[in-house]
């Protein structure tokens, strides 16, 4: 049987309990806070895409058909589980479903002129959607937002001691 030895006890004080509680709250709050930040940025980017499609030129002979407005109306954010979102386009009329993609492709798209299958028209593409998310600093915007959420959580934990 070992004899008496030396020992060292560490007993957590009340500040420890406050930090543990703050860590627990941060653990509970972070997924929602991060998801909210991502969703807010996605909505901002969706609005930028809507603005860009509304600003596209119209061919001189085409007149005003409301196409750009209908495409802009179809840009929306869809939640994808905890913390994920998807910005997508859709059209009310399923027969127009290709239009947002056609407008975004450099080669554009072909369609019958006002439904007349004897006369086909090529609409140009303008690169309005994908480039909104890949070339406009969106990665930096989202990264900064997530960093800010983590900084705020760290500050709340630090104030708990």
DSSP states along 142-158:
HHHHHHHHHHHHHHHHH
Residue 158: predicted pLDDT: 86
Virtual CA dihedral for 92, 94, 97, 98, nearest 10 degrees?
-150
Distance, in Å, from the CA atom of 5 to the CA atom of 25, rounded to the nearest integer, reads: 40
Q: In terms of pTM, does the model score above 0.85?
A: no
φ, ψ for residue 119 (rounded to 5)?
-130, 110
When computed from its CA atoms, the radius of gyration of the chain, rounded to whole angstroms, is: 27
Domain membership of residue 107 (yes or no) is yes
Task: Report yes or no on 32 lying in a domain.
Answer: yes
Q: Is residue 8 part of a domain?
A: no
Examine residue 5 and state whether it is found in any structural domain, yes or no. no
**Residue 90 sits in which domain range?**
14-158
Q: Is residue 9 part of a domain?
A: no
Residue 6 is assigned to a structural domain of this protein = no
Residue 77's alpha-carbon distances to 16, 87, 105, in angstroms, are 42, 4, 21
Asked whether residue 67 is assigned to any structural domain, the reply reads yes
In a domain, 55, yes or no: yes
Residues of the chain below pLDDT 70: 1-3, 59-63, 83, 136, 161
pLDDT score at 140: 84
pLDDT for the residue 116: 81
Q: How many domains does the chain have?
A: 1
The model's pLDDT over 66-79, given as tens digits with 9 standing for 90+, comes to 888 999 999 999 98
- What DSSP assignment string belongs to 33-52? HHHHHHHHHHHHHHHHHHHH
């Amino acid at each position: 049987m070992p004899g008496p030895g030396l020992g060292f006890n560490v007993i957590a004080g009340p500040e420890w309990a406050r930090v543990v509680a703050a860590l627990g709250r941060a653990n509970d709050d972070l997924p929602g806070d991060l998801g909210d930040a991502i969703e807010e940025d996605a909505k901002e980017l969706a609005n930028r895409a809507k603005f860009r499609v509304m600003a596209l030129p119209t061919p001189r002979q085409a007149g005003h058909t409301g196409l750009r407005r209908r495409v802009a109306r179809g840009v929306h954010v869809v939640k994808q589980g905890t913390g994920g979102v998807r910005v997508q386009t859709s059209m009310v009329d399923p027969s127009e479903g290709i239009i947002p993609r056609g407008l975004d492709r450099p080669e554009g798209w072909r369609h019958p002129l006002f439904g007349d299958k004897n006369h086909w028209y090529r609409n140009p593409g303008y690169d309005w959607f994908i480039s909104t998310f890949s070339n406009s600093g969106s990665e930096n915007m989202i990264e900064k937002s997530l960093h800010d959420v983590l900084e705020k959580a760290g500050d709340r934990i630090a104030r708990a001691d």
